[in-house]
Amino acid sequence: MLDKEGIAKRIAKEIKDGYYVNLGIGIPTLVANYIPEGIDVVLQSENGLLGMGPFPFEGEEDADTINAGKQTITILPGSAIFDSAMSFGMIRAKKVNLTILGAMEVSENGDIANWKIPGKMVKGMGGAMDLVASAENIIVAMQHVNKAGESKLLPKCTLPLTGVNCVKKIVTELGVLEVLPSGGFKLLERAPGVSVEEIKNATAGKLIVEGEVPEMIIDNFA
């Protein structure tokens, strides 16, 4: 199965030339390190940056240059820095082609819960609500099961929702799944060494398997 870096590498293959992409907190931020060569994309950070680069090398960090998750980042030549009002204006105007988010739960009809666990202290929903309501395409990067071994791909989310019927695709440590418009998770690819049966056992929601499911190919997979 994949580690977090492997999930990020596989999601990076979904990015197309010319895309404007927003990376959420957690695993999605790692995608910035694996943009394929020859692909011209612009990474948007909702705190007010267009043109985010990969993470800096140790010793080269600038504490004033951060992403929405407060991680130090690099800024590419030609980038733009602006206030959060303009940033969310860009998001709400549907100028972002692809949003990559983490999640606590995803339902089989594409609902996403990624901001709150009842009883635990949280700062707020952040920009996720605007992103899921406005993005043309949403890919979720997440673990297939929680720490208790329970599936996070469910018939219906049990946690407070961030957005409804919005997730298009999910990449986990076990595979790549598409959320069908009619409902259900269609298995597109298996992670290296992972069987279809393992994915079935880890998926509580409706899993659709059609024919032979290929094993994913990840360049430089380690």
Which residues form the catalytic set? Answer: 46
Alpha-carbon span 45 to 21, nearest angstrom: 9
Sheet hosting strand 105-107, strand order edge to edge = 112-113, 105-107, 153-154
Q: 56 by DSSP, 3-state: which?
A: coil
Chain Cα centroid distance, residue 152: 14
Alpha-carbon span 42 to 90, nearest angstrom: 13
Task: Count Cα neighbours of 10 within 13 Å in the Cβ-side half-sphere.
Answer: 29
Alpha-carbon span 22 to 185, nearest angstrom: 24
Sheet hosting strand 169-171, strand order edge to edge = 75-81, 49-52, 42-45, 20-23, 98-101, 138-141, 169-171, 175-179, 185-190, 207-208
Per-residue tokens: 66 = 């951060």
